[in-house]
């Protein structure tokens, strides 16, 4: 005899019906499933080239290997050759010093622009924002070529304008890439001009989130602008400043296009940094293994510096 299925007893009126439990595994796995496409793209665009560079750094990869396809393993020979090279220390010090100058200039000017935008009217702030976005969106190769034309000897616009002011004499024949200091100044101006928009807009976004009540209380207490900035503005902006500092160090440490287009590492090797040195080793000396080894060492230096800085922020209680 077949028994009819039992019906569930109806819940009494007014009693809360317990919700059905959804499977937790699906909810926990959903964020990771959504990240798979982005992770796959990053793996193809960034992961494969990085792995390929690491592999080449352990190979004797030159013109013969490029044309014949016969590649021999060199082990740690490329790294030992790079570490024993007398150019390593000067190039490394030059890279760190130039990166520090770029980061300091970008942060100071970007912070000043962000503070200025906070005090501008709506229309002027919109105009400044559009100008910053336009400068930021311009490709660095195109802007480097325009910069090269602006500072060109004989017919450069900047040389002509400076000559018209009569403050520095006749600068018509001035070659800004002819000396180490002026060449670095030329590249510094370009890189800072390209980097300030991101820093300024990011810091302005942070300034807009500071409650106005803090400034009103400081005004009632009679605090000056310097005290307000030191006690209120700077503590609120410190996490954002840490973030843009890390990003600026990574970007400015790897500056290549601007230096190569404007100076090509010259005069001589006075503006040669680690990216320029890696490129020269790989394509001028036809030693792709040593060039890849320099690139890997640069990545390790950046990873170490970033890890130390993030660890310092975490220890001090800052949350990025």
Burial level of 319, CB count in 10 A (0-12/13-18/19+)? exposed
- Rounded to whole angstroms, what are the CA distances from 138 to 101, 131, 205? 22, 11, 22
d(CA 291, CA 282): 5
- Rounded to whole angstroms, what are the CA distances from 235 to 116, 206, 255, 317? 19, 11, 30, 12
At residue 307, the pLDDT reads 85
DSSP conformation class of 70: -
**What number is the average pLDDT over the span 252-262?**
92
Q: How confident is the model at residue 185 (pLDDT cuts 50, 70, 90)?
A: very high
pLDDT tens-digit readout, 117-139? 988 889 999 999 999 999 898 99
> When comparing pLDDT for 147 and 166, which is higher?
147
**What number is the average pLDDT over the span 306-318?**
72
- pLDDT over 60 (residue 4): no
The reported pTM is 0.83
End-to-end CA distance of the chain: 69
3-state secondary structure 88-156: HHHHHHHHHHHHHHHHHHHHHHHHHHHHHHHHCCHHHHHHHHHHHHHHHHCCHHHHHHHHHHHCCCCCC
**What number is the average pLDDT over the span 101-112?**
95
Q: How confident is the model at residue 38 (pLDDT cuts 50, 70, 90)?
A: confident
Minimum mean pLDDT among 9-23, 82-96, 277-291: which range?
9-23
* Cβ–Cβ under 8 Å, residues 107 and 245: yes
Q: Tokens 């024993």 label which residue?
A: 84
């Amino acid at each position: 005899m077949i028994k009819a299925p039992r019906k569930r007893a109806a819940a009494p009126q007014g009693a809360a019906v317990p919700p059905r439990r959804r499977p937790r595994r699906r909810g926990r796995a959903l964020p990771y499933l959504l990240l798979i496409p982005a992770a796959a793209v990053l793996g193809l665009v960034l992961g494969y080239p990085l792995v390929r560079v690491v592999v080449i750094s352990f190979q004797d990869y030159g013109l013969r290997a490029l044309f014949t396809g016969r590649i021999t393993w060199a082990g740690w020979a490329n790294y030992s050759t790079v570490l024993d090279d007398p150019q390593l220390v000067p190039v490394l010090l030059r890279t760190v010093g130039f990166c520090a100058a770029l980061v300091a200039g970008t942060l100071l000017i970007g912070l000043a622009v962000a503070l200025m935008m906070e005090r501008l009217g709506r229309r002027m702030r919109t105009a400044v924002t559009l100008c910053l976005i336009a400068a930021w969106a311009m490709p660095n190769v195109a802007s480097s070529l325009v910069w090269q034309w602006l500072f060109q000897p004989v017919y450069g616009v900047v040389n002509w304008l400076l000559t018209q002011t009569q403050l520095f004499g006749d600068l018509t024949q001035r070659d800004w890439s002819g000396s180490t200091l002026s060449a670095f100044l030329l590249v510094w101006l370009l890189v800072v001009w390209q980097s300030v928009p991101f820093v300024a807009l990011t810091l302005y976004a942070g300034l807009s989130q500071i409650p106005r009540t803090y400034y009103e209380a400081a005004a009632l207490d009679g605090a000056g602008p310097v005290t307000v900035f030191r006690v209120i503005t700077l503590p609120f902006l410190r996490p954002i400043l840490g973030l843009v500092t890390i990003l600026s160090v990574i970007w400015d440490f790897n500056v290549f296009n601007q230096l190569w287009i404007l100076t090509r590492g010259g005069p001589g090797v006075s503006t040669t940094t680690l990216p320029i040195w890696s490129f020269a080793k790989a394509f001028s000396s036809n030693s792709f293994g040593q060039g890849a080894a320099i690139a890997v060492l640069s990545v390790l230096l950046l990873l170490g510096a970033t890890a130390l800085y993030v660890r310092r922020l975490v220890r001090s209680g800052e949350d990025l």
